[in-house]
Amino acid sequence: GPTQEAIDPVRYITNHSSGKMGYALAKAAMLRGADVTLVSGPCAIEPPPFVKLVPVVTAKEMFDAVTSVSYEQDIIIKAAAVADYRPKHIRGSKMKKTEDGSDLTLELERTDDILAYLGAHKKQGQFLCGFAMETEDLIANAKRKLEKKRLDMIAANSLRGEGAGFGGNTNVVTVITKEKEVSLGKMTKEETAAELLTMIAEARKV
């Protein structure tokens, strides 16, 4: 799901992620007998049963939660839409509109790159799968992310096209590894999760 980065006690920066894909993956893995830890941003979804839920709000909380358990995991799938930037200064009280009608400039700073950290600290035999959400040059950008962040697999998810994007019950995903790319076409998020887990299981046998 998303993260929320506070501006003041009232406002925050976030995105449109619903968390449905991540929750579908957690449920599918649980049903296959996996011991699942689900680190989740704020989502209006009932978590699947028999899954250890770790709720977080900010990108920093998600980084801390994921990295604290990452070394114990055989497979890590990072489907969350983590904020790339957060306000550099969080106001202690609600910001008021300026009396003279002037604009406001909000200074942002980078958040920790969770996927890059996981790739750099991957233990032997661990499988790391990321997600790439793009509006243009989907495959090229996903391939660069796969290599740069030392991933074993990436699910490239376009915001363009019917059945794709945030909030819906379907996805249009292309799965990319160093050896191949496979377009799954339009599927429900549950079907996408099942197919992705099957492909991970097959890749780990190689």
Cβ partners under 8 Å of residue 161, min gap 6: 172
Q: Is 164 exposed, middle or buried (0-12, 13-18, 19+ CB in 10 A)?
A: middle
Of 199, 204, 195, whose CA–CA distance to 28 is shortest?
195
CB proximity list for 159: less than 8 A, separation 6 or greater = 133, 134, 135, 165, 166
Both tokens of 105, joined, read: 């400039």
Q: Is 169 a catalytic residue?
A: no
| Whole-number Å distance between alpha carbons of 3 and 5 | 7
Token pair for 104: 């406001």
Residues 6+ apart with CB under 8 A from 37: 51, 52, 54, 69, 73
List 15, 141, 157, 169, catalytic entry = 15
| Catalytic positions, written as ranges | 15
